[in-house]
Amino acid sequence: MTDTTLKHVVIAGGGTAGWMTAAAFSKLLGNNIKVTLIESDDIATVGVGEATIPPIKNFHKLLGINEQEVMKATHATFKLGINFENWGQVNDQYIHSFGVTGKECWAGEFHHFWLHGKQKGHHDEFGDYCFELQAAKQNKFALGHDRPINYAYHLDATLYAKYLRTFSEKLGTERIEGKISQVDKCMKTGNISAITLASGQTIAADFFIDCTGFRGVLIEQALHTGYEDWSHWLPCDSAVAVQTKSVSKPIPYTRSIAHDAGWQWQIPLQHRVGNGLVFCSKYLSDDEAKNLLLENIVGETITEPRVIKFKTGRRRKGWHKNCVAIGLSSGFIEPLESTSIHLIMTAIVRLLRLFPYNGVTPSAVDEYNNKLDSELNAVRDFIILHYKVNERADSKFWQHCQHMEVPPSLAHKIRLFKETGRVFLDDGDIFRVDSWTQVMLGQGLMPMQYHQIANIMNDDELTKFLTSLKSAISNAVSELPEHDDFIKQYCSSSA
């Protein structure tokens, strides 16, 4: 009998995706599997994915990574959400936070009670009932207080990869430096059998993970998996990025500022700010984008503006034969909601749960790809939502987004919310009802009705309910220290 046991895994490519994968495999499978990572010092990583969402804390917990240690090493700050500016209309803004808004009941979420309150003359904003959102607005943050707080990080992606490299190598991951010149395949099965480097060195393995970025050296160039283009739904195809020195205290949220042909990000780390402009090249040239970004940043630039080209979409298969694509090699959904690092993490965990110790089976491949499809489609729809639901009449780009067709799954969610005030999540949704509600309300989509369960309260009970919620949040936020003060005490890194 042929021994099909997997003994050696090769990760092609480093960066955030490669070293997150190596860290997880070496920590969780290291006793049974040899892990090798191939990385070229001459190939730069994209390295601009500097904002995360809360589940990254679960990944660190799984690997036994100390939060304070990794935050110091990556010059990290805390993130409570994203402030969206000019998205619904020019000069509008709202925060999509990581917190729970209000209190829900069996029949309906809190926004039904809030909508009922609006009808009764209450004028408080929806976000007034969210602890994390109010803490973000007041630049407050703390851990260990009576009230739990849901958060993520802003971090230096290059330093994060470096931290995880050290972590992985201590656990036995072997790093081989070099450029991939050839991918060898088995003539009988079509599986990848080995990778040959420009130096002539050949590395054979049983299983391969493609972390080579947009190029997809294994999953696309060698295995020809194909690409599903989503640019008809997400028209931005370019980004320009630049780093600046900090000129003020870091805020505990990302800024997302809509412009005429795209949007600008500002991500505050402890000693610098990551800046970028995501745009559509049909409406803005590279030079115009550079100038627009440089005109809208503060602080001395640390790096030269760098243009990155991309095509939004995904590989038709995330797992094909004995190769799984993780990170940018598996596809790209623009960074509007900071999902890139999260999708790396979920891909790693999914693969670990289905890892084919005794050889690749069609059922494992199908399960991985089915779950990936569900997750990517849900994330895709949530990102498209931000573009589709806008009331801007000042630019051709935003008017195009208003009138473009969207996936039927998203069209249904929008219509359901508008007509009934309801949001139901799909299996792959990584964003909760709170997130969908905050974005739809924030961008001007107001439901025509709400669940009548809200009518169980009379006017006095409703007033008392809303007032007590808002008051409790206000009191809790007032007791928090400044975000910057907490960072200095908890995880300060040297400049």
- Cα of 281 vs its chain's centroid, Å: 23
Tell me if 179 sits within 8 A of 198, measured CB to CB: yes
**Would you call 79 a catalytic residue per the annotation?**
yes
Cβ atoms within 10 A of the Cβ of 89, count? 16
User: Which one of the listed residues 27, 34, 72, 79 is annotated catalytic?
Assistant: 79
Tell me, letter by letter, the H, E, C secondary structure of the chain. CCCCCCCEEEEECCHHHHHHHHHHHHHHCCCCCEEEEEECCCCCCCCCCCECCCCHHHHHHHHCCCHHHHHHHCCCEEECEEEEECCCCCCCEEEEECCCECCCCCCCCHHHHHHHHHHCCCCCCHHHHEHHHHHHHCCECCCCCCCCCCCEEECCHHHHHHHHHHHHHHCCCEEEECCEEEEEECCCCCCEEEEEECCCCEEECCEEEECCHHHCHHHHHHCCCCEEECCCCCCCCEEEEEEEECCCCCCCCEEEEEECCEEEEEEECCCEEEEEEEECCCCCCHHHHHHHHHHCCCCCECCCCEEEECCCEEECCCEECCEEECHHHHEECCHHHCCHHHHHHHHHHHHHHCCCCCCCCHHHHHHHHHHHHHHHHHHHHHHHHHHHCCCCCCCHHHHHHHHCCCCHHHHHHHHHHHHHCCCCCCCCCCCCHHHHHHHHHHCCCCCCCCCHHHHHCCHHHHHHHHHHHHHHHHHHHHCCCEHHHHHHHHCCCCC
**376 burial via Cβ count (<10 Å: 0-12, 13-18, 19+):** buried
Locate 19 and state its tokens. Answer: 């070293």
Nearest one of 302, 295, 252 to 274, comparing CA atoms: 302
Tell me if 92 sits within 8 A of 267, measured CB to CB: no
Which residues form the catalytic set?
Answer: 79
